[in-house]
Amino acid sequence: MAASSGSHLSGDIQQAITGVVTDPGIVQLLKSGDVSPETAVAIQNAIDIGAVVLGIAEGGRQIYRVVKPGLLSSAERQMVEELPALRSGQAPGVNTLEDLKSPGTRHYADKVSQSSVAKEINTVIDRSVVDVNADVIAIRSGDAMRVGDTYIVNGRTYGSHDGTLFPISGPGLYTLDRGAYKALGVLNKFGDSALADTILKNMGVSDATKASALNVWKAITK
């Protein structure tokens, strides 16, 4: 618990130097996980007196455990035992990791169509080499490494938005700009054909942009 007490002391020193009241690191961490300021301070105090220990689990999850029950009231012990989010590795914006949904269809390279919504930057998955279901199960189980608001599993990085995962980077993932993403939709329907070339030229797709899309199309159709 020296590290936690050190965090508290660090805040006191910073306040003395700058005149700014700064929460200790543990308090900031708890508050970032939607824990009330009062509960966050109470947990820090419990840590400072040695009643509660903090451990870091695999994937960066924080685990709080009462080790000296006699130093806490029953209400305080229950407060620790019911800590949300940081205790289970919960992601902001969803109830639990188990609630996270698989990436949407627009992120599967072989499912991209001419009507798929294209954004400035689009990351697509080659399902012939990526076991998306295995990645999602690992994330939901809390086995992925948490780095900020992202999850790293099997070398791939995923983010989440409104409770749905989306791919960012890693093996088997391809990043396409808007034009290349649209071109992939054409190639998925017409293949690398004269008709596809005509359509892409009419769309104003450059040779370089087509090459990016073609690289992905060849990978998913080999």
pLDDT at 11 > cutoff 90:
no
pLDDT at 89: 47
Alpha helix segments (H runs only) across the chain: 2-18, 25-32, 37-48, 74-81, 132-140, 178-190, 194-202, 207-221
Find, among 183, 61, 49, 59, the residue nearest to 112 by Cα: 183
pLDDT at 150 > cutoff 80:
yes
Find, among 167, 211, 203, 198, the residue nearest to 182 by Cα: 203
Torsion angles phi and psi, residue 95, rounded to 5: -70, -45
- pLDDT bucket at 55, cuts 50 / 70 / 90: low
Find, among 28, 37, 134, 151, the residue nearest to 91 by Cα: 151
- Rounded Cα gap, residues 50 and 8, in angstroms: 14
Torsion angles phi and psi, residue 16, rounded to 5: -65, -35
- Rounded Cα gap, residues 50 and 70, in angstroms: 11
Does residue 16 or residue 41 have the better pLDDT? 41
pTM above 0.75? no
